[in-house]
Amino acid sequence: MRFTGWAANYIDERTSASTAVKTLGRKIFPDHWSFMLGEVALYSFVVILLSGTFLTFFFDPSMTEVEYEGSYVPLQGIPMSVAYHSSLDISFEIRGGLLMRQVHHWAALLFVASIALHMLRVFFTGAFRKPRELNWVIGFLLFVLAMALGFTGYSLPDDLLSGNGLRIIDGMIKAVPVAGAWISYLLFGDEFPGTDIIPRLYVLHILLLPAILVALIGAHMVLLIVNKHTQFAGPGRTNDNVVGAPVMPVFAAKAGGFFFLVFGVIVLIASLFTINPIWNYGPYDPSPVSAGTQPDWYIGFADGALRLIPPHLETVIFGYTWSWNVLIPLVGLLVFLAAAAVYPFLEAWVTGDKREHHIAERPRNNPTRTAIGAAGVTFYAGLWAAASSDLIATHFRLSIEGVIHALQFVTVVGPFIAYFVTKRVCLALMRKDREIALHGYESGRIVRLPGGEYIEVHEQLDDYERWRLVSYEEYQPLMVRPDARGRITARQRVRAGLSRWFFEDRISPVTQKELESQRH
């Protein structure tokens, strides 16, 4: 006890750590399951770092050709790169190597999946609004980096699957007008596949990308602390406070336990289920392509876009071939990702809302945003499903052309359907909320009054429940107003039009007056 006191004092006098611990220890985390998705991402990243470090001890990214002499019979005597050989050695010769490889890969899939779900949570609750727009952008960059890390990792074993993935990337690069072939040679150092790409990707995968990722995670965490956490509305939970458990000791204990749960789930999955059986694929050779060659799930949407674009879209101009069937998906996906990145700024401009928001919205209470999100999800889902069009065809006994055409419909028309349906569902749910807030639930109990009149008794909500239903903000469409020079600019007209589109259909929250008049 004496020693700990002395030690703590020693450190504090030299680092002023107590200030940081005090601030951090008092940081409040509200309790809601959906607020823990980001934690899943963080913890799976820690697992990735740990298992990845183990893998670097044994992996050799060289593309020098050797003959396989390991214990996997169907590859013995086959020439292959050192990279693939060492990946096989990790799987077959090194104690615990296969488990670590599977932990690393499963954790990577979980990492990107939890980031995606975390982003959807933030989007649909409007938690990206001021003051958190920048943290949304950082989070978006983390998502893109996670995909890049995943893809470079997928390419490292230099097996048939990873080589096929690189071939598609090479094809996409070469489709870039004018500079494509130059970029391809710069990246691969030679005609594809060359002998440079694996060492280069290795450096990106274990040095540059993780360094940027860790830095951005740090920034993400700092902004999380500075901005404080959002919370759902409730009695006593306002825009100016945060209600929840402090980091020390409650949240830290919970989070620490949760880290081990995430770790445990990953190891459990990795010990029971094969992931990327590289020994099946054999060494990379540019000629064969296996049926069922797909990227990992997070690159699936890009693969799907290539599968959905109608073939033969090519024009030859001045002797150069313009491969629209590659360029359109490429540009389309970049636009889609960019739209996701800048959405907070777009919405802020359209709504003209410059206030800070710390209350997470229920998705139904912002029907247009929720509908836009649903449209985006549908678009993504169409592309994503298209990446497995061949497996959908074989497993549901459909023709692959039928699957492709159906998914083209889902990707192009589906977002509009999703938009309208979601918007109407949100408005209907708000109407229902309003009805319940005002009149309570129908209890099904019919009472006959002395005068002979029959009424149904409604069960009123208690204050806590009602709060949830009535406390949301109502936005009005912006009016077009002349500026200082008495003019109405085109910019203003556009903005007013968008604002009308956003807020034209709305259900006003129940007012205190309405509630009181209902009560009497």
Partner 1 sequence: MRNRIETQHTMAPISPASSRRSGRRHPLATAALLVVGLLATGGAYALATTTATAETTAASEQLVEEGGKLFAANCASCHGLQGAGTDAGPSVIGVGALAVDFQVGTGRMPMAASGPQAEVKPVQFTQEQIDAMGAWVASLAPGPAVPPERYIAGDGDAAIGAELFRINCAMCHNVAGAGGALTEGKYAPGLAGVDPVHVYGAMATGPQNMPVFSDLNLTPEEKNDIITYLKYVEENPSVGGFDLGSLGPVSEGLFIWIFGLGGLIAVTIWLTAKSN
What is the C-alpha separation between 201 and 148, in angstroms, rounded? Answer: 10
Q: In sequence order, what are the residues at sequence separation of 6 or more whose Cβ sits closer than 8 angstroms to the Cβ of residue 245?
A: 28, 29, 31, 251, 254
Alpha carbon separation from 250 to 256, 330, 492 (Å, rounded): 10, 47, 50
What is the C-alpha separation between 338 and 439, in angstroms, rounded? Answer: 45
* Residue 110 binds partner 1 (CB under 8 A): yes
* Residue 157 binds partner 1 (CB under 8 A): no
* Residue 296 binds partner 1 (CB under 8 A): yes
* Residue 4 binds partner 1 (CB under 8 A): no
Using DSSP bridges, classify how beta strands 28-29 and 314-317 pair: parallel, antiparallel or unpaired. unpaired
Name the residue among 139, 153, 70, 68 with its Cα closest to residue 105: 153
* Residue 169 binds partner 1 (CB under 8 A): no
What is the C-alpha separation between 256 and 389, in angstroms, rounded? Answer: 41
* Residue 280 binds partner 1 (CB under 8 A): yes
CB atoms within 10 A of CB 268: 11
Cβ distance to partner 1 smaller for residue 35 or 188: 35
189 φψ region: left (φ > 0), alpha (ψ -120 to 50), beta (else): left
Q: Which residue from 312, 354, 397, 481 is in contact with partner 1, where contact means CB under 8 A?
A: 397
Q: Which part of the chain contacts partner 1 (CB under 8 A), choosing from 110-118, 198-206, 212-220, 443-451?
A: 110-118
Cβ distance to partner 1 smaller for residue 164 or 351: 164
* Residue 293 binds partner 1 (CB under 8 A): yes
Torsion of CA 509, 510, 513, 516, to 10 degrees: -160
CB of 267 to partner 1, least distance (A): 12
User: According to CB under 8 A, which residues from 117 to 136 bind partner 1?
Assistant: 117
Q: Which residue from 100, 161, 169, 381 is in contact with partner 1, where contact means CB under 8 A?
A: 161
389, two tokens: 């069009």
User: According to CB under 8 A, which residues from 423 to 462 bind partner 1?
Assistant: none
**Which residues face 66 on adjacent strands?**
80
* Residue 390 binds partner 1 (CB under 8 A): yes
Q: Which part of the chain contacts partner 1 (CB under 8 A), choosing from 26-34, 124-132, 308-316, 370-378?
A: 26-34
CB of 482 to partner 1, least distance (A): 51
The DSSP annotation for 417-445 comes to: HHHHHHHHHHHHHHHHHHHHHHH-EEEEE
Q: Which part of the chain contacts partner 1 (CB under 8 A), choosing from 124-132, 223-231, 232-240, 272-280?
A: 272-280
Q: Which residue from 391, 417, 429, 480 is in contact with partner 1, where contact means CB under 8 A?
A: 391
Cβ distance to partner 1 smaller for residue 162 or 184: 162
* Residue 377 binds partner 1 (CB under 8 A): no
CB of 59 to partner 1, least distance (A): 17
What is the C-alpha separation between 35 and 31, in angstroms, rounded? Answer: 7
User: According to CB under 8 A, which residues from 29 to 88 bind partner 1?
Assistant: 31-37, 40, 73-78
Encode burial over 434-449: b for 16+ CB neighbours within 10 A, e otherwise.
Answer: bebbbebeeeeeeeee
Three-state SS across 80-144? EEHHHHHHHHHHHCCCCHHHHHHHHHHHHHHHHHHHHHHHHHHHHCCCCCCCCHHHHHHHHHHHH
Q: Which part of the chain contacts partner 1 (CB under 8 A), choosing from 112-120, 194-202, 332-340, 413-421?
A: 112-120
* Residue 144 binds partner 1 (CB under 8 A): no
What is the C-alpha separation between 412 and 404, in angstroms, rounded? Answer: 12
* Residue 265 binds partner 1 (CB under 8 A): yes
Q: Which helix (H) or strand (E) holds 245?
A: strand 245-246
* Residue 408 binds partner 1 (CB under 8 A): no
Name the residue among 60, 53, 155 with its Cα closest to residue 104: 53
Under a CB-based contact definition with an 8 Å cutoff, are residues 114 and 199 in contact? no
Number of amino acids touching partner 1 (CB under 8 A): 70
What is the C-alpha separation between 213 and 424, in angstroms, rounded? Answer: 39
Cβ distance to partner 1 smaller for residue 67 or 456: 67
Q: Which part of the chain contacts partner 1 (CB under 8 A), choosing from 286-294, 324-332, 375-383, 497-505?
A: 286-294
Q: Which residue from 88, 197, 387, 510 is in contact with partner 1, where contact means CB under 8 A?
A: 387
Q: Which residue from 354, 399, 486, 519 is in contact with partner 1, where contact means CB under 8 A?
A: 399
**Interface with partner 1 (CB under 8 A):** 31-37, 40, 73-78, 91-92, 98, 102, 106, 109-110, 113-114, 117, 160-161, 254, 257-258, 261-262, 265-266, 269, 271-277, 280-282, 285, 287-297, 300, 387-391, 393-394, 397-402
